Amino acid sequence: MSATSLPLSERRAALPPAATFLSVVVALLAWELLARSLAGTFLLAGPWDVATYLHANAGLIGRALAVTMQEAAWGFLFGNLAAVGLALIAHMLPRTEKLVSALALLFFCLPLVATGPILRLLYGPGIGPQITLAALAVYYTTYLSVMVGLRAVPSNWVDLVRSYGRGSATELVRVRARAALPYLIGGLQIAAPAAFLGAMVGEFTGAERGMGVLAIRAMRELDVQATWTLACVASAVSMVAYWLFGWIGRRLSVAPPALILSSPGPRETHPTHGRRFLSSLAMFVLIAVVVLIAWRGLMDLFDLNVFFAKRPDDVWRFLITDLDAATNRAVLFEALGQTLVFTLPGYLVGLALGAGLAACIMLLPSLSATVLPVAIALRSIPIVTTAPLIVLALGRDAAGMVTIVAIMIFFPTLVACLQGMRQAPAEVLDIFDSYAASRWQRLRLAQVPAMLPAFFAAARMAVPAAFLAVTTAEWLGTGTGIGGLIAMTASTSAYGMLWSGVAALSLLACAAYVAVEFVERAVLSRYASEQIVR
């Protein structure tokens, strides 16, 4: 985006480089003082301790970092290629979109704490689980971003292409791909830290080398200096990747789209509701059948041992028809209840924090020099290293768990909301400037409506992330809930409960996702009807 394409008020708000430097110095001093005040608590190591440990163990950390970066890079590549491919299929074959989206969502909702041990059993030694988990951690966020971008096209652009007799391929390449580019860049920025996190979780399952191996060793030895050094190195890598994709986006001159005018969707009548219900029910049945066939078929195709690779009928017997089925259900539902108590509040706090910070940055652009580096650092620190420390500092109750979920969610929401607000057409913002409108009026009347599609995309992406954060904290910190149950069953080879927990948690995440989508549809039908799939 060239400087002249920015609205007037943003051009006036150019940030001096000294502000960024000063904010970094202040943050480091505050960090060091806080660490010294907490000396002896085994909670926090300051920047001096981190630098000292890094200098003494540069070779070891360098080799581990190279391994994890390689795994994360392959997972990032495969995951994003799959995401773009799925988005193109869903767009070019609209009848398949619901099925593709549902299957993509279901795989994304599989909890990493459970799929990690299962993938290790399936792959054996090697880097297969790390790459697969990194790919699983990134593909859905990019898929959603690209889908939102492909729809963010003014209808007159599409009409112009069609008036020249061009087909859907020209429309895709000349119009929709260009519109989707800023959303793709935003998705890649979110995906970069997630890929590193996925690779580290994969290393937790029995890898021999990598940052995850060093991290779990440091946590077991209560080596706070090593833990924070590894977390800082992981954060630095993720921040570099984040800024790299932002730089690529600026080099590609990714500018806001022209004004999108689309009429509100038609009011629905009761017969339409009835037909929609039947259509949704038929789609649900189709998705369930496809998932069950794929689940059973893949395990039979690869001849996986029935001792650990449970089929759908094994899970059915474990929860419904076995003599101990009632006991099994009671244990499973009690663990799910413990997890849900913390997931919803953390999810709402994370969304509110991300959207609120984005609004504050738009009102006071100078805040970005301080807020964005801290936000990226908090999100980039792998949750698998900080979750036990947060639980130790804030306790095993609501304060600690809600904080972990909020940290996991607020950064993608912040990035998505900032990206969405910046998509407000420059022509509209210039009109506000010409009438001397206040920043609050610009925010309320132009930037927030432009943000809504990206906000709801972030809200949908945050659903699996919230469950990932809670189950990770339960796995590594509290030992309660479905995360603790899955970790215990994996270590005791109780695979019936393990697969039942995976299935129940995935279904729960999908149900929460559908609820968010319902709210999104109601809101966007009024403010961004071009995003509604009819």
Query: Which DSSP category does 475 fall into?
Result: I
More confident residue, 232 or 255: 232
Distance (Å, rounded) from C-alpha 212 to C-alpha 204? 6
Say if CB 510 and CB 463 are below 8 A apart: no
One-letter amino acid identity for 163?
A: S
CB 152 within 8 A of CB 453: yes
DSSP secondary structure letter of residue 436:
T
Average pLDDT over residues 340-368: 86
Whether the predicted pLDDT of 13 surpasses 50: no
Q: What is the mean pLDDT of the chain?
A: 79
Residue 243: pLDDT band (50, 70, 90) is confident
Lowest mean pLDDT among 90-104, 383-397, 420-434, 501-515: 383-397
d(CA 446, CA 444): 6
Comparing CA positions, the residue from 477, 485, 502 lying closest to residue 403 is: 477
pLDDT at 254: 55
Contact predicate 339/470, CB 8 Å = yes
Residues 122-134 have pLDDT tens digits of 777 788 888 998 8
Interval 398-416: pLDDT, tens = 777 888 888 878 877 887 7
Average pLDDT over residues 344-352: 90
- The enclosing H or E element of 2 equals none
Q: Report the pLDDT averaged over residues 447-463.
A: 83
Average pLDDT over residues 318-338: 89
Determine the longest span between alpha carbons in the chain, in angstroms. Answer: 74
Q: Which two tokens stand for residue 311?
A: 């089929």
Cα–Cα dist 471/95, whole Å: 35
Helix, strand or coil for residue 493? coil
Supply the pLDDT for residue 482: 84
Residue 259 is predicted with a pLDDT of 46
* Lowest-confidence segment of 87-101, 188-202, 302-316, 365-379 by average pLDDT: 365-379
pLDDT tens digits, one per residue of 272-296: 666 666 776 777 777 788 888 888 8
Tokens of 245: 């994709």
Tokens, residue 208: 């021999």
Q: Quick check: 94 pLDDT over 90?
A: no
What is the Cα–Cα distance from 493 to 507, expressed in whole angstroms? 23
Determine the average pLDDT of the residues in 3-13.
45
What is the 8-class DSSP label of residue 322?
S
* Tens-place pLDDT, residues 46-93: 888 889 998 999 899 999 999 999 999 999 999 999 999 999 898 888
Cα–Cα dist 453/531, whole Å: 7
Q: What is the pTM of this model?
A: 0.72
Q: Which token pair is 101?
A: 């989206």
| Strands (E) located in 375-448 | none
**Angle between helix 17-37 and 368-380 (nearest 10):** 50
The per-residue pLDDT for 267 is 47
For helices 383-394 and 177-204, the axis angle rounded to 10 degrees is: 70
